[in-house]
Every structure is written in C-alpha cells, then in structure tokens.
Chain A
Amino acid sequence: TQLLEQSPQFLSIQEGENLTVYCNSSSVFSSLQWYRQEPGEGPVLLVTVVTGGEVKKLKRLTFQFGDARKDSSLHITAAQPGDTGLYLCAGALNNNDMRFGAGTRLTVKP
C-alpha cells in the first residue's frame, strides 16, 4: 500500500480541457512537492507547498495543499499536449524522508 495515493492513475483528455489530479494520505506532511516526469527521464520539480491551505499558481497549473497537510491537488487549465507526462506528488515526513506516490499518467491529445 502506497503512503500517498494518487488518482486517477491514468487520464486521457483533449487539448483545451481542464483537469484535476489528487494526492491523498492519512499521514501529515511537513511539505509536499509535485513533479512531472517524462519517459526515460528523471522527475522535474514543479512546486513545493508548505502551509496548510496554501494555493500556488504556476501559469496554467494551480496547486493546493490541504488544510490538514495530508492531501493536495493539481488543477490544469486548458491542457496542452506539452502537459503530457507522469505527475508525481511527494510528501516530506521528516527532514530526510520524502515519499512519492505512484503518479497520474496524463495524456493530452491534440
């Protein structure tokens, strides 16, 4: 069982649609990060959220950290084919322990 559950596991949408992916846990995290990973490459950091209830925007991407710091969501507006990839959330349990979810594999069709 994963410490961080990501949903949906797979998502295929048309260009221009909006989407939200989720990252849930029963554990409390001191911070949470979102990464995007393309095939054959390492994950690339998108954002770090630290405070419960925090919302961060990165162009068309909106990240939210739950009030209790146990969950997070990533919303993408007007998805583009370049958004295609594996979206991973990672929670920091303590100063040294960062746990990753299994990811949401997003495909945006032109």
Chain B
Amino acid sequence: DTGVSQDPRHKITKRGQNVTFRCDPISEHNRLYWYRQTLGQGPEFLTYFQNEAQLEKSRLLSDRFSAERPKGSFSTLEIQRTEQGDSAMYLCASSPARRLYGYTFGSGTRLTVV
C-alpha cells in the first residue's frame, strides 16, 4: 500500500460543468476525510466517513457538493454546476480508528474553474 491516492491531480473545467474526484485511502484505514485548501489558507474540513457511513458534513458543503464512499473503500467527491469560487485544492486524508495516529493525506486534486 503506497498511501492515499487521488485522481486526477489537476482538473480544469468550465463554469457550470460537473466534476468528480476520486480518493483511494490506505486500505487498513476506516476513516476518510475530504478537505478543501485555497491559496494562503490551511485545509478546511468538508466531510468525513467512517467505513461507508458519512458521519459529518461541514456547512461549507453546499447542496452542489456530494460525497460517497461505497463499500467503505474508495470515495468520490462530486461538484455540480461548478462556480469560480470552487477553484481550490481538494485534499483527501485517511486515518485508523485511533486518531492519535494522525492523518495521511493524498497529493490532492487542483481544481480550476474558468
């Protein structure tokens, strides 16, 4: 297992289009997190899964955003009707049940909405 993988690394889309990102966590980790990071800021929490259950969603996650984690393995984050303000780095992280081990982040997906 080589860590958390995110695909694609970069995505350029036109305003109004839908985009979907994928995250493959470390296989032994049952917790999966999505964060968004804009320039000059730290990561902002979007949502969290424990196995296949989505347990928490930030108010940042408008109704245009949806995340899934079928079968508790990989996860997808979809943004519908993209807006220029959605341009950011979308980071996925996974962790074991004991959070003291910390998060392992993927390299992120850089989204640019033009």
Question: Hey, which bits of chain A sit against chain B, CB under 8 A?
Answer: 2, 4, 6, 31, 33, 35, 40-45, 48, 50, 88, 90, 92, 95-103
Contact = CB atoms under 8 A, between A and B. Distances in A.
A48 B102 contact: yes
A102 B40 contact: yes
Interface of B: 4, 33, 35, 40-45, 48, 55-56, 91, 93, 99-108, 110
B40 A42 contact: no
18 contacts: A31-B100, A35-B105, A40-B108, A42-B4, A42-B91, A42-B106, A43-B91, A45-B102, A90-B42, A95-B99, A96-B55, A96-B56, A97-B56, A99-B45, A100-B35, A100-B43, A102-B41, A102-B42
Contact of A43 (B43, B48, B110): B43
Contacts of A35: 105
Contacts of A48: 100-102
A97 B102 contact: no
B56 to A, nearest CB: 5
Contact of A42 (B55, B99, B100, B107): B107
Contacts of B104: 45
A98 B103 contact: yes
